[in-house]
Structure 1
Amino acid sequence: MGAGGAVLIIVVGAVLLLLVVVALVLLGAAAAVRLSGKNAKPLAWTGVGLLAVPVLFVATLVAWAQLVRDPDTIELDLREPIRLSSLPEDNEDFPGIRDYDSDHIDLVLPDGERFRAEVDGVLVWSEGGYVTRVTFDRRARKDGEAAALCRAWEKELGGAGSVEVDTGYSDHGRVRGELVAASAP
């Protein structure tokens, strides 16, 4: 996120906080007016209406985030140790291995760079409750794709991982990548 995004978040947060404060002041004033025996409904409804704006904004933001997120993406930050228990359970067949039928992978590499790729599956390996390595693969869908994909992944991973091509897999081959996770504490 850039500096403009951070400023926008701060401004929106300040506006929402101001609306909450004004709404609470209006509700407090409505309570005082009611105790004096006068009609407090206009103040109370104005306060409730102002309070509804930030509540609805946050609820809409949460609902939107749930709709646009990709549940088939495995996201891992390999800069620090990852507890296996923090990952979703999905087809755990063997102790120490989680097999995900994910369509995408989004990794933060040890050097802080991001690696995003369309994949056919992800294996997360663990020992002692911590992730030790991550392997992922993609079947080539057309001639020449495996070699091109291998070069692209090697370039994007830099020295952080290894990439290999299995030309005998399927009609057009398969590319497999592997990354080692940060050591457990």
Structure 2
Amino acid sequence: MGAGGAVLIIVVGAVLLAFVVLAVALLVAAGAVRMSGKNPRPLAWTGLGVLAIPVLFVATLVVWSQIVRDPDTIELDLREPIQLSSLPEDNEEFPGMRDYDSDHVDLVLPDGERFKAEVDGVLVWSDDGYVSRVTFDRRAREEGEAATLGAAWEAELGRAGTVEVQPDYSTFGRVRGEVLTAP
């Protein structure tokens, strides 16, 4: 996130906090008016209306973020046929493929074993509308990690998948894995 995004978050947060403070002040004033024996309803309703603004804003933001985000973890059981249309949308228009900026992959491999890994992205490919393979990759974060990670993924995937280590990719290398679905 850039400096502009951080400033925007601070400004929006300050505005929302101002609405909450104003709403609380109006509700406290309504309580004081009620204690004096006068009609507190106009102040109370105004306070509740002002309080509804930040509540609705935050609720809308949460719902919107759930709709448009890539899932943090791609979870697939590759033992059974999976329709590509049943997977979350990825906001990309690639026929026969979904591209996720996910942080983790959690797969039940065709042989029933489980494979979990921290990744930088996941591609889910399809043939005739059904998932045919899943590819994922991760950039190495330190010297020698690509070879170590590649060996670990090979051991965990076994014969269910393939692993490719690209030591010259970027600074420290990259590891790519691929798993085919059950026939």
Question: Shorter-chain TM-score category?
Answer: 0.5 to 0.7
Deviations 1:133-167 (A, max 9, x none): 00000000000000000000000001100000111
After superposition, what is the alpha-carbon deviation per residue over 1:105-141, rounded to whole angstroms, capped at 9, x for unaligned?
0000111111000000000001111001000000000
Displacement after TM superposition at 1:91 (Å): 3.2
- Asked whether 1:128 is paired with 2:128, we answer yes
1:15-61 Cα deviation digits (max 9, x unpaired): xxxxxxxxxxxxxxxxxxxxxxxxxxxxxxxxxxxxxxxxxxxxxxx
| Paired position in structure 2 for 1:57 | none
Q: Which runs of 4+ in 1 moved over 4 A?
A: none
1:142–1:172 Cα contact (<8 Å) kept: yes
| Aligned counterpart, 2:40 | none
SS in 1 for 2:151: helix
CA–CA distance in 1 between the matches of 2:153 and 2:102?
17
Q: Which runs of 5+ in 2 are unaligned?
A: 1-65
User: What TM-score comes out, normalization by structure 1 length?
Assistant: 0.60
Corresponding residue for residue 169 of structure 1: 169
- In the TM superposition, residue 94 of structure 1 has moved relative to its aligned partner by 1.3
Report the RMSD for the aligned CA atoms in angstroms: 1.6
Tell me the residue number matched to 1:90: 90
* SS class of match (1:126): strand
Structure 1 segments unaligned to the other structure (5+ residues)? 1-65
Normalised TM-score (structure 2): 0.60
For residues 82 and 182 of structure 1, the distance between their equivalents in structure 2, rounded to whole angstroms, comes to 10
Determine what percentage of the aligned residue pairs are the same residue. 78
Q: What is the alpha-carbon distance in structure 2 between the residues aligned to residue 91 and residue 174 of structure 1?
A: 25
Q: How many residues align?
A: 115
Alignment partner of 2:159: what SS? coil
Q: Which whole-Å CA distance do the structure 2 matches of 1:182 and 1:143 have between them?
A: 35
C-alpha distance in structure 2 between counterparts of 1:163 and 1:144, whole Å = 16
Shift of 1:93: 3.0
Name the structure 1 match of 2:141: 141
